[in-house]
Amino acid sequence: MSKPVAEMNRSTVHALSPSQSCRDRGRQSFIFHAKRQLGQFARSTLQDEFERSRVRVGADVEGSETSLRLDRHPAFAVWSALNIGSQQQMWRALSDMVTRQTGQLNAAAEAFWGGAAKGSLQLAPDLEMPDYFIETAYHGQPGGYCLDRGDGDWHAGALQEAGGTLYSRGAGTGKKDSKGQAVVRFISNTFPGLMPERVIDLGCGYGGQTGNYAVAFPEAEIHGIDLGAGLLRYAHPRAEALGLPIHFRQACASATGFPDASFDLVVSNILLHEIPRHMLEGVMRESFRLLKPGGLVVHQDVPTQRADTPPFQQWLSSWQVAHNDEPFWQTFAETSVAEALVLAGFPEEAVFEAYQPQVDGPLVWYMVGARKP
């Protein structure tokens, strides 16, 4: 049995991590550096032009008008074409790497199934998938999160982990950072002494963040749920390979099937900006229902809702919606999660919003949640 890892971040390697060939390394390094350069270009040239456009048409201009003017700038066209091209290249390079090793990774995964497992996997083949989930190829990931070719297919999870790591590093997120760790740090600072007995991670995906809760709360029973069978078939052996006892279940984050008041801590990591508003409201109701009295919910996501989000950052957000398969990004930015928590049953005074810096990157994460009386 594997010994549990001490900490998990973007450098975590495990038995299901695909090996990078010399060619893979060259291709992925190119994409990484191209993404870094394009990010710098956006923050310098595009932002300068954006601000000049705002000055020309007035400081109070609506974002859409500014976008229209920037859309006509030749730098915007080139940047957009290269940015999208690099994203498509990223998925091709990662798909090639993962698919080439299907046999080896199948064998690695199979080694962690069976009676010696610390955690578990419960799939629900008859679970009805929401339309938005089966229609969205999040971030351009081939097949999206619902990819499931049957017969134990885990490719969706492998691609989500590999893509998330390369994309985030290209976007400037540090190697040491992990979203789950950010939540753990936030809880440790804001609710010191919290020792949950049962934790659930909603929309856990490949389980990368769920592992952080298993490490932070070693005495707790850790659960992760997601709609994607192909994500969970990867998450389970991945967790086992890392020595982490996690129970994964295929379920919807707004209707998990767990009993009322059965968890002390409910968390999610960058789930809310990937779902439509009615689903977000459902997740808040489910969070309230699942929590025991005194329990805590913390949802972590992108910081698009800051009142002081600079207009250019808002413009970049709207670009993501239109160009990078992020259909709910803008809806999320315009939604008050705090209000949704109150509507779900949490007292207004129990609701909090905060911003948590990354460990070694320039970004901050948005934290929103509440404590159930």
Partner 1 sequence: MKEGAQPADKPIYFEDPAIQALYQMVLVLGEELAATREQLHALIALCEEGKAPSAEAIEAFVPDETFDLERADWVERLLEPLERIKQSPSRS
Which residues of the chain form contacts with partner 1 (CB under 8 A)?
Answer: 21-23, 25-27, 29-31, 33-34, 36-38, 41, 45, 48-49, 52-53, 56, 69, 72-82, 84-86, 88-89, 93, 134-137, 140-150, 156, 322-323, 325
Nearer to partner 1, 94 or 367 (CB): 94
Q: Minimal distance in Å, beta carbon 88 to partner 1?
A: 8
**Count of CB atoms within 10 A of residue 324's CB?**
16
Structural contact between residues 68 and 53, judged by C-beta atoms closer than 8 angstroms: no
For residue 291, give the 3-state DSSP assignment: strand
Nearer to partner 1, 18 or 119 (CB): 18
Nearer to partner 1, 141 or 358 (CB): 141
Q: Minimal distance in Å, beta carbon 215 to partner 1?
A: 28
Structural contact between residues 194 and 206, judged by C-beta atoms closer than 8 angstroms: no
Nearer to partner 1, 171 or 261 (CB): 171
What is the rounded CA–CA span in Å between residue 102 and residue 97?
Answer: 9
Q: Cα 371 vs. chain centroid, distance in angstroms?
A: 23
Q: Minimal distance in Å, beta carbon 67 to partner 1?
A: 12
Q: Minimal distance in Å, beta carbon 302 to partner 1?
A: 20
Compute φ and ψ for 306, nearest 5 degrees.
-60, 135
What is the residue type of 152? G
Nearer to partner 1, 322 or 343 (CB): 322
Structural contact between residues 240 and 214, judged by C-beta atoms closer than 8 angstroms: no
Nearer to partner 1, 13 or 78 (CB): 78
Nearer to partner 1, 31 or 337 (CB): 31
Q: Minimal distance in Å, beta carbon 79 to partner 1?
A: 7
Instruction: End-to-end CA distance of the chain: give it in Å, rounded.
Output: 40
Q: Minimal distance in Å, beta carbon 346 to partner 1?
A: 33
Place of tokens 């298993």: 214
Nearer to partner 1, 56 or 348 (CB): 56
Strand 364-371 versus strand 291-301 pairing type: antiparallel
Tokens of 207: 């389980």
Q: Minimal distance in Å, beta carbon 49 to partner 1?
A: 7
Compute φ and ψ for 19, nearest 5 degrees.
-75, 145
Nearer to partner 1, 303 or 311 (CB): 311
Q: Minimal distance in Å, beta carbon 242 to partner 1?
A: 23
Contacting residues for 230 by C-beta, under 8 A, at least 6 apart: 143, 145, 146, 147, 148, 149, 153, 154, 155, 156, 157
Please report which helix (H) or strand (E) contains residue 182, including its range: helix 179-190
Nearer to partner 1, 81 or 343 (CB): 81
Please report which helix (H) or strand (E) contains residue 307, including its range: none
Q: Minimal distance in Å, beta carbon 73 to partner 1?
A: 5
Burial of 17 (0-12, 13-18, 19+ CB in 10 A): middle
Contacting residues for 33 by C-beta, under 8 A, at least 6 apart: none
Q: Minimal distance in Å, beta carbon 80 to partner 1?
A: 5
Report CA torsion sign: 86, 88, 92, 95: positive
